[in-house]
């Protein structure tokens, strides 16, 4: 989990996880998981994307346990914020 000491900063390379909603002229509109606000999308050149597949060819969804852990960690990192997952 990122902490204030190792949070990503401007200029850092990052990896986003999400689902492609549409593709037009080599640019994909990607709905990013864990975005703020929820359901946020970004435009990404298709050549910059790497397909995330499981053995059966579907994108893996986080387990309930993983979602609860992420929500608890976010709640601890941001006291007073409402966590909706």
pLDDT band per the 50, 70, 90 thresholds, residue 55: very low
How do residues 40-52 score in pLDDT, each as one tens digit?
888 988 888 877 7
Q: Which ranges constitute the DSSP H helices of 1-85? A: 64-77
- As a dihedral over the C-alpha atoms of residue 57, residue 32, residue 65, residue 78, rounded to 10 degrees, the angle is 170
Question: Rounded CA gap, 65 and 47, in Å?
Answer: 33
Place of tokens 């703020």: 36
pTM of the model: 0.50
Cβ neighbours of 28 (radius 10 Å): 20
How do residues 12-40 score in pLDDT, each as one tens digit?
888 888 888 899 888 999 888 877 777 78
Mean pLDDT of the chain: 76
């Amino acid at each position: 989990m990122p902490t204030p000491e190792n949070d990503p900063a401007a200029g850092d390379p990052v990896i986003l996880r999400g689902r492609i909603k549409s593709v037009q002229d080599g640019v994909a509109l990607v709905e990013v998981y864990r975005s703020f606000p929820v359901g946020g999308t970004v435009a990404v050149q298709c050549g910059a994307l790497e397909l995330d597949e499981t053995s059966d060819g579907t994108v893996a969804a986080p387990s309930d346990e993983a979602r609860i852990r992420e929500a608890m960690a976010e709640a601890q990192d941001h006291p007073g914020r409402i966590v909706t997952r």
